[in-house]
A and B are shown apart, each in its own frame.
Chain A
Amino acid sequence: MENLKKELSNAKTTQDLDNIKSKWLGKKSELKAKFDDLKNIPAEKRQEVGAELNTQRVKIEEMIENTKSEIQKHILNEKLSNDNFDMTLPGIGISTGALHPVSVIEEKCIAALRRLGFIPVSGPEVEEPKYNFDLLDIPPHHPARDMQDTFWIKHEELLPRTHTTSVQSRYMMSLNGDESKLPVKIVSPGRVYRNEAVDTQHLAIFNQFEGLWVGHDVKLSELKGTLEFILHEIYGPTVKVRFKPKYYPYTEPSIGADINLGDGWWTIVGAGMVSPQVMKNFGFDPDKVSGFAFGFGTSRLAGQFTGASMRELYGMDLRVFKNIKGVK
């Protein structure tokens, strides 16, 4: 056993152990020979000798297994300590991108307005003056056409729309004055075009989000309530809201909604009751049918939420959007 102990203490690998095991317990081992010799031992002593040999075998197996366990542990430790993996290297995998802040705002507005039953509709961006101006009571040379400096594809025939209100015109005209199709509750997000000088805060192409509710006996109080609801959905329940007079050719009365988040008042929404003339133009009797319309500059809201300038939001520098991703 002392020899075995010595051999085991010199063993470094599991292969060394296999060799030791073979020598001490294998077919050519001394112990195996002793087992083989049991048949020559007198019957009365055979059981005693046999038991002794079994004890020896178990002990040898035990010593080898213990050593094996130590060697494996040593190998593992060595492997772990020699591991040169560098966990400070960058993680592997695709980092997520992001939707454009204007899309995020649009989704938020749509989600809020869906709760009131609004549905999104879209319309062409290349529009006829009829839908963009005339039906909305903005005739040629009306001062409002200055408010919305127009790109013309063909003068007074075709234009990139100056507002998404044109979508409302198209939708209302598609009803052919049929009151049974009311109420109408639509929102029309989209791009609009203005022929004006561009700077960091003013763009020729930007996004609007407009809504229209037309039905029977729709009241100014409901317009105010709806606007306040939307603004609370967007800015949270504690935001202060106030209303003030505004002018839009297609609404009467026309109002604006300002919000205050503690840093002064900001005009966010333009709105109003659909003017009787516009209602007539849409083919409905203004004495029977009423409605309200409202519009947000979603580009401006996106700038307000993210802190990015208009030019950055509509630029191509992806670093802007990576940085915005981190802004809560």
Chain B
Amino acid sequence: MKFSKKILETFVDLPADWRELMEDVGLEVKSVDGDIMNLELLANRGDHYCYLGLATEINGRAGTGVKQLQEKGLKYENAKRFVIDTDKCIAYSFVPFDIKSIKPAKADYILESSGVNVIHPAIDVTNVVMLEYGQPAHVYDADKIVGQVHIRETKVGEKAALLFHEGLTELPAGTVVIADDEKILCVAGVIGCHGAGVDENTKNVLLETALFDPVSIRKTAKELGVCTIASQRFERGGNLDAVKSGAERANYLYEQISANQNGDAEFSQRVKLPVKEIQMSCDFVRNELEIDISDKEINERLSRYGFIISDKKYIVPNVRTWDIKGFKADLIEELARSIGYNNLPNRLPMAQIGSEPTPNELRKTKINSYLVNNGFFEVFTDNLYSPKHAKLSPVPEHVKIENSIEGGYAFMKNNCIVQAVELVSKNLRVKNREIRAFEWSKVFDFDKKGIPRETNMLWGIVNGNKESALTVKGLLENLFENLGLDVRFEYNIEKPEEEDNFLMPKRRGQIYYTPTDALMGSFGEVSPGFSEQFDIKNEHPIYFVLNTDALLIAPKKKTKYESPSNLIASVRDISVSIPYGVSAGSVAGFIAKNYKVIADVKITDVFEKPKESLRNITFALEFKGTQSTEELNTLILEIMNSANEFAKK
């Protein structure tokens, strides 16, 4: 909010280091343009939204006093012209003025410096009072009001002709309005209406000052989508005292421009606000703030903010009743601000024992290191996505966002593959083809009772000239070996997970944690049909996804050290012709299963023969024990024949 430094100085003396002081008391000076200061005010301090509030806050630190503005007292009578029909109006006042001879208000500078337009002298005075005292005020053309004014709540379907709005606007039921016998004159504390507005022909006005329930104002402003200086002030809680003092200041200002009171001032308070008292000893202050400060200084500093001190009780001023809850901590905060946080002691807590990372955290660190050392970049994608993303998802049900203002955040994501493939697409668009990325993410779905739940996932995506599903298989095999986890890879997937359906059936696998046989994750080459939806052509991204909870908590397998044998194992290669459609792994499995003399079978070479629809696979067989050359040769011949037979079948 913008304020004039020159005008502020008519309320309080500013020191040379005024900017530093203001920031030190919570009045953040975002910028200064000549005389105009743009301030960022604390969200709970409605009292700061005026010169008097700023001056009081500055005086709380500086202690140089606040200069009082001139007011012209009013004698209030009971309300006759109006009736308060709702508890959402705490207090209300009407003062009638004759403005037939009104002159310009000489308020151009104070209004313009805060970005308020000069409109009509009678209205300008109300705006000045709001900027000076923080008390929103309003004037009605008294001759346009029909019958008695009621401060009441609207019924269902009631409409009003709001200022700056075309036609009639339906108001939510329960909105507090100021209405006469025929029409709604104003939406209380939020916005005026056509019908009783002041114009160049107005002769008599009714000045309104009031205090409304902040929650009610806030709801109305939000529901109507209207934010005015008055609503901003009221929704943070107004000042009961200013209902009268604001009117008296206006009375003075009107008199200065030849507008005179021409009837009884009326005031009514419908709701009695509780007087807040805080009991606190000065020893408590000294103990909490750890400073040597006298009782006198404590009381003197608190009195600058308007607290009344009475027998170790501190009575909260009306202007602060909304933000001071009534705890001793409230007063500690006032004193800390008055003294300055930078002037209070600062120390580290007494000697502490450090904490160690948990095994899960250490495992996560290990996984991070492994992936980073293998060229992966960690990314953070959004956990919310658009209807377009949702449509691409392998799972139709989504946790929906009711009120997203950005179309891109309509759903909570229920998969990772959509964004993973989108990442490939976006990088290909900028000619970055070599991709290795991963993310610790979450997916959201519903449990059996229909309640949203979240699952932690680790996903990754790989793309590039030399990458294939086997690259990712190798990466994952090594990862699990590094982690010491006993897992098995399955390629003949009988029950594919939803995301698996977007992977090529013969280029995908699932990973199971062997001790519990629980599914830990999947990987595979993304199906071209899915990639093409992201405009990916002639590329073969490979995706993996792991259930993080399982990954981080699964116990390591127990292994014992075995000394390497002094006997150098006999290793012999055999070549087997395997028709397309038969997996090399099945042949290796056949050999291992049927020949107990073999310690290990490794696939060492693949030679494709597409014309014959087969592959020549070289297996390196490691034999247990000691066989003679003749025995080995006989055995190898037998294995080769039986393996070829197996492959053909």
Contact = CB atoms under 8 A, between A and B. Distances in A.
A316 B381 contact: yes
Given A197-B405, A226-B348, A97 B374 contact: yes
Nearest to B218: A141
Contacts of A87: none
A150 to B, nearest CB: 8
A160 B43 contact: no
B377 interface: yes
A254 B380 contact: no
Contacts of B355: 114, 117-119, 185
B143 interface: no
19 contacts: A103-B368, A117-B352, A117-B353, A125-B454, A141-B215, A143-B218, A143-B235, A143-B236, A151-B402, A158-B452, A197-B406, A225-B346, A226-B348, A276-B329, A314-B380, A316-B423, A316-B427, A318-B423, A319-B427
A228 interface: yes
B194 to A, nearest CB: 28
Interface stretch (A3-11, A31-39, A48-56, A216-224): A216-224
B401 A103 contact: no
- Bin chain A's interface residue count: 35 or more
A243 B218 contact: no
A126 B454 contact: yes
A203 to B, nearest CB: 8
A257 B358 CA distance: 30
Q: Output the residue of A115, A246, A247 with the most chain B CB within 10 A.
A: A247
A117 B354 contact: yes
Contact of B352 (A115, A198, A204): A115
B566 interface: no
Nearest to B353: A117
Contacts of B402: 151-155
B553 interface: no
Contacts of A254: 333
B377 A225 contact: no
A104 to B, nearest CB: 9
Q: Output the residue of A94, A207, A220 with the most chain B CB within 10 A.
A: A220
B354 A286 contact: no
A229 interface: yes
Interface of B: 23-26, 28, 42-45, 215, 218-219, 235-236, 288-290, 325, 327-330, 332-333, 336-337, 341-342, 344-349, 352-358, 361, 368, 371-384, 399-406, 408-409, 412, 419, 422-423, 426-427, 430, 432, 435-437, 442, 444, 452-454
A10 to B, nearest CB: 45
Interface in A192-222: 193, 195-198, 204-205, 207, 213, 218-222
Contact of B379 (A115, A149, A321): A321
Given A117-B353, A125-B383, A153-B399, A317 B427 contact: yes
Contacts of A105: none
Report the 6 A-B pairs with minimum CB-CB distance, sorted nearest first.
A245-B26, A253-B333, A243-B341, A100-B378, A225-B348, A316-B423
Given A97-B377, A116-B352, A191 B383 contact: yes
A17 interface: no
B426 A317 contact: yes
B428 to A, nearest CB: 11
Q: Output the residue of B23, B378, B432, B442 with the most chain A CB within 10 A.
A: B378
B330 to A, nearest CB: 6
A248 B38 CA distance: 22
A146 B379 CA distance: 30
A1 to B, nearest CB: 50
A103 B355 CA distance: 19
A126 B412 contact: yes
A276 B452 CA distance: 33
Contacts of A222: 347-349
A306 interface: no
B412 A153 contact: yes
A116 B347 CA distance: 13
Given A222-B348, A225-B346, A275-B329, A246 B426 contact: no
Interface in A288-328: 313-319, 321-322
A221 B354 contact: no
A202 to B, nearest CB: 11
Nearest to A117: B352
A126 B447 CA distance: 13
Given A97-B372, A99-B372, A316-B381, A196 B405 contact: yes
B400 A153 contact: yes
A281 interface: no
A270 to B, nearest CB: 12
A243 B423 CA distance: 42
Interface string A97-116: 11110110000000000111
A59 interface: no
A252 B43 contact: no
Nearest to B57: A245
A244 interface: yes
A268 interface: no
A125 B419 CA distance: 19
B531 to A, nearest CB: 15
Interface in A64-107: 94-100, 102-103
Interface in A251-303: 252-255, 273, 275-277, 286
A94 B432 CA distance: 16
B454 A195 contact: no
Contacts of A242: 342
A22 B348 CA distance: 91
Contacts of A228: 346
B354 A97 contact: no
A151 B327 contact: no
A96 B375 contact: yes
A220 B327 CA distance: 16
B422 A220 contact: no
B454 A245 contact: no
B327 A120 contact: no
B432 A319 contact: yes
B403 A195 contact: yes
B543 to A, nearest CB: 14
A259 B356 CA distance: 29
Contacts of A286: 327, 329
B466 to A, nearest CB: 10
Contacts of B325: 252, 275-277
A169 B624 CA distance: 61
Given A151-B402, A286-B329, 8 more contacts: A114-B357, A115-B352, A119-B358, A152-B403, A205-B382, A205-B384, A244-B28, A317-B427
A147 interface: yes
A102 B235 CA distance: 37
A153 B452 contact: yes
A102 B381 CA distance: 12
A242 B454 CA distance: 40
Given A242-B342, A286-B327, A318 B42 contact: no
A232 to B, nearest CB: 11
A11 B430 CA distance: 62
A242 B341 CA distance: 8
Contacts of A316: 379, 381, 419, 422-423, 426-427, 437
B412 A160 contact: yes
A26 interface: no
A221 B346 contact: yes
Contact of B42 (A152, A193, A247, A317): A247
Contacts of B43: 143-144, 146-147, 247
B40 to A, nearest CB: 10
